[in-house]
Amino acid sequence: MSSPGASFVSSSLSRTSPRRTPKSQFTYKHLAQLKSYSTTTPLRVIAHVDLDAFYAQCETVRLGLDPSKPLAVQQWQGLIAINYPARAYGLSRHVTSTEAMKVCPELILQHVATWKEGDEKWAYHDEAFKHIATHKVSLDPYRKESRRILKCIKEALPEKEQRVEKASIDEVFMDLGAQVHGVLMERYPDLRGPSPYDDPSEYLPRPPTTVLDWAADAVVGTGEEDGEDIDPDWDDVCMVIASEIVRDVRKHIFEQLGYTCSAGVSRNKMLAKLGSAHKKPNAQTIVRHRAVHHFLSEFKFTKIRMLGGKLGDEVVAMFGTDTVKELLEQPLEQLKKLGDDTGSWLYSTIRGEDNSEVNPRTQIKSMLSAKSFRPAINSFEQGVRWLRIFVADIFSRCVEEGVLENKRRPRTINLHHRQGSQTRSRQSPIPQGKPLSEAMLFDLAKNLLAQVVVDGRAWPCINLSLSVGGFEDGITNNKGIGGFLVRGEEAKAMLSSGRLGMGSSEPPTKKRKREKGNIQSFFGARDGQRKDFDAARAVLKAHRESTREDEDEDRDMEDGDESDAFEPLPQDDTYPSIRIARPSTPPPNRQDAIDDPYRATTPPSAQPPIIPNIPPSHQHPQNIPPADPPPPYKPPLHQETLDTFFCPRCNAHLPWLEKAEHEDFHFAMDLSKEMRQEEKNGGASTSSGAGAGTSRRKTPVGQKPGRGRGRPPGGGGGSGSAKGQAKLAFGRQV
């Protein structure tokens, strides 16, 4: 199928065109469109670059090993990446590490990095494969390498003529249109002038060459005897230039970082991707226009994107074949049995058409951290321990995405819980308008798990996964929002020193180690299920309470109105000097949500419903001065009906579905009041500002430490105490 290293005498697009024509098949318009990355120009040139045996290479490079030695990356007992020397032994992802060692005794087995519970970061652990029950795999090292490679690729391309899309952890697409256009103009000055008669539909002159040098590339043949007889046209010239660029990019990656990769160059993403897998490792494949038909005929269509799953199965079942060759015989009408759109899409796809653009947004849309449990886990406490790891994992990736600088920010958090064959999912919006912190995510995650537990039948659980999604670009020049942010470099420094952002008053490790058992000790020891259920209920209560308090704090911020000042947090022995930026202007009034561009972008589904007709004075059990209108009542999430019940304590109608939770809320508030009272009477060791540190650890569950430090109810918070960290004081967390 390939004609490697060939110089050849080439042709134009049309198979029926005369052998030599005075004009090109392409017009001045086609050429101009190339420069602007048009997806429809027939001169389009797209490349796909895919790293060879990526995770395996990451380990070889990290450990400074000889790349010719067989190496596989192990995950527990299985292999997830096998380098090419090891593949020569017939090893694949389907064998176990034990089987692999039998086949290839000199195989280097490197286990993936793992998070160990209680640790602040993933690490490479000795004999990690033994710890499946207590460790979780981390792909962070590979993501990090992926970013370095992406950066390196971008460096190898001209800054103003690059369009690169990260397609997965080890692949990118590049639209080389603008760069190739630039090279064409340099090499072929005849193309520079305006089109004759200023008519862009005029045909270009033919290329002044009949011979193209493909160097060492695998050039896919046409499958026809006279396929190379027709002279090259500009589409072929564009492919040659693109292949030179791609060769340079691959060389740069190898020289700078030591990785080999393979590439495909063709007229669209689909063909470029199929091309990059065509010859591996360390090779590049060119699929010219004239070779598309032949190239695709050799494939099973189930290898094509979107046809690997259910749709592919459906097509196989309907037409009794899985080859492109045989499917090409089906007329469009037949394919439309799959539906008009699907049929049309399939018809053009197997003919090599794909107008999807290379999307330069390299940002990810969601992040997931998950773990399958063998043996299953059986308690809320165990689940929460895993959530800590998931949150730490996700938060560190969020930081890489620029959440601390408000560049990007997720809008939703999801928990999937699997028990037997049943999967339960819970979702909640991530509060916007305040800095995202690890503590905030942990609180939300815990609350979601608590919801599952309280609903019943949560155990034994065989899989838990946590994800954040709906990433959106932050509004960096919105002072109301931006003012809440810890400044970029400082934030990073805080992160690296373990001093996480607002709301986290201790380094995560300490917290993780100490948090255990608070709920338990508070409610007293009870037997299994009951204890579990109580712990979950307590988390729901605490979460609801903290949501309330968040609202109070927002108001405090409005009142405080300190201009862009930094305010030191209370100090303790472990946490000497965390600083948080306060808003330079007050955030917009919550009731003016529509005027706030940040809130206006919130998708309706992410906005908790607002229940009207609740007098403001009854929305908060605290006394709120009339001059300070409270936020609208926010019922808990997942509300499905507006049927209401009357709460005599609030003097308000509230959603019926939330009755039990609402009563819990009053219970929690009463409890909290009682404790504050006790604190006052008994002189509990809490205070505000510097020196409050150690007391935080003694703060019992259910207490609202921020309110317990002598602030007047509903008070304007002018005391100088930092409000942010108080609500998340350690003692309240499970």
Residue 55 interacts, among Ca ion, ligand CTP, none and using kind-specific CB cut-offs from 5 to 8 Å, with: ligand CTP
In this chain, which stretch among 48-56, 119-127, 350-358, 657-665 interacts with ligand CTP, using CB under 6 A?
Answer: 48-56
Total residues contacting ligand CTP by CB under 6 A comes to 12
Exactly one of 45, 50, 441, 542 binds Ca ion (CB under 5 A); which one?
50
Question: Which strand (E) or helix (H) includes residue 240?
Answer: helix 234-257
- How far is the C-alpha of 198 from the C-alpha of 52, rounded, in Å? 48
Exactly one of 11, 52, 241, 511 binds ligand CTP (CB under 6 A); which one?
52
Residue 291 interacts, among Ca ion, ligand CTP, none and using kind-specific CB cut-offs from 5 to 8 Å, with: none
- How far is the C-alpha of 424 from the C-alpha of 452, rounded, in Å? 7
Judged by beta carbon, residue 171 or residue 233, the one nearer Ca ion is 171
Question: Residue 261 Cβ, how far from Ca ion at the closest point, in Å?
Answer: 8
Integer angstrom CA distances of residue 10 from 219, 294, 457: 12, 16, 68
Contact 288, 64 (CB under 8 A): no
Residue length, the chain? 734
Contact between 55 and ligand CTP per CB under 6 A:
yes
Alpha helix positions (H), 401-497: 438-455, 479-482, 488-496
Contact between 170 and ligand CTP per CB under 6 A:
yes
Q: How buried is residue 194: exposed, middle or buried, by Cβ count under 10 Å (0-12/13-18/19+)?
A: exposed
Judged by beta carbon, residue 128 or residue 539, the one nearer ligand CTP is 128
Judged by beta carbon, residue 165 or residue 171, the one nearer Ca ion is 171
Exactly one of 43, 47, 53, 350 binds ligand CTP (CB under 6 A); which one?
53
> Binders of ligand CTP among 150-169, rule CB under 6 A?
169
Contact between 87 and ligand CTP per CB under 6 A:
no
Site string for Ca ion, 169-188 (x = CB under 5 A): -xx-----------------
- How far is the C-alpha of 4 from the C-alpha of 699, rounded, in Å? 73
Contact between 280 and ligand CTP per CB under 6 A:
yes
Judged by beta carbon, residue 51 or residue 271, the one nearer ligand CTP is 51
Sequence-distant (6+) residues with CB within 8 A of 557 are 484, 582, 583, 586, 587, 717, 723
Residue 81 interacts, among ligand CTP, Ca ion, none and using kind-specific CB cut-offs from 5 to 8 Å, with: ligand CTP
DSSP 630: P
Exactly one of 26, 54, 214, 301 binds Ca ion (CB under 5 A); which one?
54
Contact between 81 and ligand CTP per CB under 6 A:
yes
Residue 228 interacts, among ligand CTP, Ca ion, none and using kind-specific CB cut-offs from 5 to 8 Å, with: none
* Residue type for position 187: R
- How far is the C-alpha of 52 from the C-alpha of 68, rounded, in Å? 13
Q: Give residue for tokens 């609030």.
A: 650
Question: Residue 281 Cβ, how far from ligand CTP at the closest point, in Å?
Answer: 6
66: number of Cβ within 10 Å: 9
> Is there a cis peptide before residue 460, judged by omega within 30 degrees of 0?
yes
Question: Residue 478 Cβ, how far from ligand CTP at the closest point, in Å?
Answer: 38
Contact between 62 and ligand CTP per CB under 6 A:
no
Q: How buried is residue 544: exposed, middle or buried, by Cβ count under 10 Å (0-12/13-18/19+)?
A: buried
In this chain, which stretch among 52-60, 203-211, 519-527, 619-627 interacts with ligand CTP, using CB under 6 A?
Answer: 52-60
Question: Residue 274 Cβ, how far from ligand CTP at the closest point, in Å?
Answer: 13
Structural Rg of the chain based on CA atoms? 31
Alpha helix positions (H), 233-319: 234-257, 269-278, 292-297, 310-319
- How far is the C-alpha of 430 from the C-alpha of 413, rounded, in Å? 6
Contact between 145 and ligand CTP per CB under 6 A:
no
Judged by beta carbon, residue 261 or residue 500, the one nearer ligand CTP is 261
Contacting positions for ligand CTP (CB under 6 A) = 50-55, 80-81, 169-170, 280-281
Contacting positions for Ca ion (CB under 5 A) = 50-51, 54, 170-171
